[in-house]
Amino acid sequence: MQPKFIEPELRRFTRDLYHKLHSDDQELLDIVSWANMRIGEIHPWTDGNGRAARALVNILLIQHKIFPMPVFDTMKLGEYKDAVELSALENPERLKEFFLAELVNFKQRLRSRAAEKTSYSGPVASAGFFDPARMFQKSSGKSNEKQDVHRKGI
């Protein structure tokens, strides 16, 4: 993208992100995938665009009480980049599928560790913080109290 278009595109991106996050018809998984791809399209910096996009994904996940994406370690970086490329070229759902699979795998690893009592046990794990199903909740920030009570085991 030409430099003169970067600032207006970033403004449009932040406005669109705000509206998506406060919409009743957007799932969080759609939003984080879209945001990740959009930062890559705008490409506002000479270096660090991918890291910025992944950081934004994790911020959005944390804001919705989902553990940050574990995929961003070096072992999975190649698979992540392949998913981004496939999403951009031919299959927009590929990045969403990748994110969800990684969250589910991570949740399983956390439960296994908690069962072994080596780490990640305690109130945060039992409060539903790691629940990938939250990725499919509407993003308006409105809480369904009945679901929250069920998830937290109250």
Mean pLDDT of 144-152: 40
The full DSSP string for 52-95 is HHHHHHHHHHHHTT-PPPGGGSHHHHHHHHHHHHHHHHT-THHH
Which range has the worst mean pLDDT, 93-97, 101-105, 115-119?
115-119
pLDDT tier at 102 (50, 70, 90 boundaries)? Answer: confident
Q: Which two tokens stand for residue 82?
A: 């392949």
Q: Which long-range contacts (CB under 8 A, 24 or more apart) does 61-67 make?
A: 61/28, 61/32, 64/28, 64/134, 64/137, 64/139, 65/128, 65/129, 65/134, 66/28, 66/103, 66/129, 66/130, 66/131, 66/132, 66/134, 66/135, 67/103, 67/106, 67/107, 67/110, 67/129, 67/130
pLDDT at 84 over 60: yes
Mean pLDDT rounded to a whole number for the chain: 79
What's the CATH fold of domain 3-152? Answer: Fic-like fold (1.10.3290)
pLDDT at 123: 46
- Between 84 and 109, the more confident residue is 84
- Distance separating alpha carbons of residues 33 and 95, to the nearest angstrom: 6
Residue ranges of the domains in the chain?
3-152
pLDDT tier at 10 (50, 70, 90 boundaries)? Answer: very high
% of the chain with per-residue pLDDT over 70 = 71
pLDDT at 125 over 80: no
Q: Which residues contact 35 (CB under 8 A, 6 or more apart)?
A: 13, 17, 53, 56, 57, 60
pLDDT at 73: 65
Q: What would the pLDDT profile of 20-78 be if each residue is shown by its tens digit?
A: 999 988 899 999 999 999 999 999 999 999 889 999 999 999 999 888 877 666 668 88
- Distance separating alpha carbons of residues 117 and 59, to the nearest angstrom: 28
